[in-house]
Structure 1
Amino acid sequence: MKTSLFPALLLAIVVVSTGIALPASAASLQVAPTAVTLTEKQNAGALWLTNTDEKKGLRAQTRIYRWTQDNGEEKLEATNDVAVSPPMIELLAGQRQLIRVIRTGAPPQGAEVAYRVLVDELPGADEPEASGLQFLLRYSVPVFVLPAGDTPLKYELDTRLERNGSQVSLVAGNSGSQHAQIADLTWVDATGARKAVLAGLVGYVLPGQTMRWELPTDTAITAGGHFVARINGEQEEQTLALDSAGR
């Protein structure tokens, strides 16, 4: 099974039924942490689902997929290498529930392997069909299973620009053994002047994969400049050196 993966951690899913009503509160389901890492010695990790509504219960479903990238596109595939438990949850008002992320096989070799846990808020059983517009949440939480051995993991990014007519994209390849989470992409020109290009989370480049992101049309790529970004949550910015052939 394959399904496309939206890059955002949190998605709002709109379920439309007949009638008109105000949207139900969609912020009551909370998931933490925002990512899970399993080392060689860990067979399981934890997610916490919390219902912050003080009056109303909710239902949710959890599923886990192998996460890959193919030709610049995110892919999710069914897997038996990891599991989540329990798959169906009912949370009373103010209640929280532990979700276990379980590695069912041996750790990978050479490089980390990535998965995604999808947490879907389900329509309430007591919601009438004609309740109108209902907003439901989906969380997509990265899970990284680290390989066996003591060799330090690291990302190795190669970046270049790709032009298609007037559209310019940043292409990033990762030849390392660790994912690279790219955030706060900024262009710094030859004078040191800075311009934010893509704020917040830009996306991930998994080991051995290549991703591309379209840049805003007003991005001015000038001689002598370079991109900087925050990688894997580090406070210090990293320079993304551009391949001269792709400038």
Structure 2
Amino acid sequence: MFNKFLLLSYFIALPALANFNISPISISLSVGEKSGSYTLENLSQRKAAYQIQAVTREIFSNGEENLQETKLIRVFPSKIILSPGQKKRIKVIYLGKKNIAKEQSFRVLFNSLDLDVSDSLKTTGVITKYNFATTFYVTPKDAEADLNTHIVKKNNRYQLQLKNRGSKHIILRNWKLDLVNNQAKQRYSGDLPDVNILAGNELYIPLTGISGQYQTANIVTQ
């Protein structure tokens, strides 16, 4: 079982610790496709060992992310040793149902292994915390996001409620917010984080410096 991580951006990467590269960082697989693949490259000057694992992904309304082990995704190879500069294709196979109503979200975790690498994967060692996590989606045909916004009072403060009633995730980056009441519209001056609202999920973002005079909010992405 995995712990929960507070993640408000759509991927996490710690390249300073990882010393390796993965591409792409996100894959969206249609239900008619069986698999996708990543390319893992060793950027270090020595042999390095890696472990790769897929987990389900859930984002709670406060932005906290929950990762759990899954049998719906198979990764091959799941353990690998790469020489300096070597690249390897990592295949990710979806084993779940095809007739899904909404998009399913996963992460593929790439762990560097803290061990003295020999020519055998049987050597033992300690797994460091994972230092690269990609996103992997399985998306039904004609899936679309349907984002609804409301200003609500929650935990004695005003917050923006983002509710995705659609069947596909939506990512907001470098976005703005227009606050609206019956008489006027005002651009929100506070900082807004990059967020990912999964299909069927909702997210609350605290707003500062506003009172109850605003009834609705409009997202501005350009």
- Shorter-chain TM range is 0.7 to 0.9
Deviates more, 1:78-87 or 1:1-10: 1-10
> Which residue, out of 127, 132, 135, partners 1:139?
132
Indicate the RMSD between aligned Cα atoms, in angstroms: 3.1
Matches of 2:49 and 2:144, distance apart in 1: 39
Amino acid at match of 1:163: K
Q: Distance in 1 between matches of 2:187 and 2:203?
A: 27
How far 1:227 sits from its partner (Å)? 4.2
Seq. identity, %: 20
What's 1:211 paired with?
A: 203
Can you give the 5+ residue segments of structure 1 that lack an aligned partner in the other structure?
Answer: 14-24, 127-134, 231-236, 238-247
TM-score (norm 2): 0.76
1:92 to 72, 83, 92: 83
1:123–1:227 Cα change, 3 Å: farther
Cα drift, residue 225 of structure 1 = 8.3
Residues 206/92 of structure 1: CA separation in 2 closer, same or farther (3 Å cut) = same
CA contact (8 A) 2:151 2:214 kept: no
Contact 2:56 2:105 (C-alpha < 8 Å) held by counterparts: yes
> What is the CA-CA distance between 1:117 and the residue it aligns to?
0.9
Q: SS of the residue aligned with 2:192?
A: strand
- Which residue identity is paired with 2:173? A
Worse-matched range after superposition: 165-174 or 79-88:
165-174
Deviation at 1:220, TM superposition (A): 8.5
Q: CA deviation at 1:188?
A: 3.9
Give yes or no for contact 2:18–2:131 (8 Å, CA) kept in 1.
Answer: no
Identify the residue that residue 176 of structure 1 maps to in structure 2. 166
Q: CA deviation at 1:194?
A: 6.9
Query: 1:66 is matched with which residue: 50, 56, 68?
Result: 56
Which digits, 9 at most, give the CA deviation of each residue in 1:12-62, with x for residues without a partner?
49xxxxxxxxxxx53521111121111122101011111223x22322211
**Structure 1 residues 161 and 224, CA, compared in 2 at 3 Å: closer, same or farther?**
closer
Alignment length, in residue pairs?
205
Letter paired with 2:31 = E
Q: Distance in 2 between matches of 1:49 and 1:66?
A: 21
After superposition, where does 1:36-55 map in structure 2 within 5 Å?
36-53=27-44, 55=45
Structure 2, unmatched stretches of 5+, are 118-127
Q: Which moved more, 1:105-114 or 1:221-230?
A: 221-230
- Aligned counterparts of 1:175 and 1:158: Cα–Cα separation in 2: 7
What does residue 32 of structure 1 align with?
23
Identify if the C-alpha distance between structure 1 residues 70 and 108 changes in structure 2 by more than 3 Å, giving closer, same or farther. farther
Contact 2:150 2:217 (8 Å CA) reproduced: no
- Give 1:102 deviation, angstroms: 0.3
**Partners in 2 of 1:228 and 1:212 — Cα distance?**
14
Secondary structure at 2:191 match in 1 = strand
How much has 1:222 moved relative to structure 2? 7.3
